[in-house]
Amino acid sequence: MYEIIRGCFDRHGDKRYGEFVTQRQHALQCATLASQEGASAPLIAAALLHDIGHMVESTLGSRDPADDLMHEASGARFLGQWFPREVTEPVRLHVIAKRFLCGNEASYYDTLSPASRHSLELQGGPMSADAQRQFLTTPFAREAIALRRWDDLAKDTDLELALSLEDFKELLESLMRPEVA
Ligand code: FE
């Protein structure tokens, strides 16, 4: 498992994430923020790997923009080979969580970059109050919302990274489902 994930980061980690940081920096910053806030081990793993769908071969090089919008689904499916729902569900829901936050907090919407507002529209726009209530009944919705906030903050060009992917190896291995470990 770890070797395969490291392979994804080796091949695609240096690609840009948005305007300012690489995929690797983004992933490590996101996991660091989760860990600083005392998140559970599965949620730290989810934060680290939430964009792995961008690094998985099946969605790479596709010309279909819908594929890119589905990176949360391909990522969750990929991680589901080894990890339980505590890891995969926050990953799968982290894009929908943006729609929740935009509907729930006007101030959150105001922080979005133009690119992020554009993708929000493609994803269906801010959630209505009804849709928000519905979303909160989904298992792992709150974890996905927490992940989304770290995701948004994990774009800091000046942040020195104290941790590498290797530092999360043990944590990832400890989370593998017993039947595949
Ligand atoms: Fe992200």
E strands present in 7-163: 16-17, 21-22
Which residues sit with Cβ closer than 5 angstroms to ligand 1, an ion? 51, 151
DSSP summary character for residue 127: P
- Using alpha carbons only, what angle is made at residue 168 by residues 166 and 170, rounded to the nearest 5 degrees? 95
For 123-167, the DSSP string reads HT-SPPHHHHHHHHTSTTHHHHHHHHHHHHH---TTPPP---GGG
d(CA 112, ligand 1 centre) in Å: 13
Integer Cα distance of 61 and 113 in angstroms:
25
Mean pLDDT over all residues of the chain? 91
Q: How far is the CA of 50 from the centre of ligand 1 (A)?
A: 6
> Tokens in use for 151?
């995701």
pLDDT digits (tens, 9 = 90+) for 67-104: 455 889 999 999 999 999 999 999 999 999 999 999 99
For ligand 1, the distance from its centroid to the CA atom of residue 176, given in whole angstroms, is 22
Residues 149-178 have pLDDT tens digits of 999 999 887 776 788 999 999 999 999 999
β-sheet bridge partners, residue 21? 17
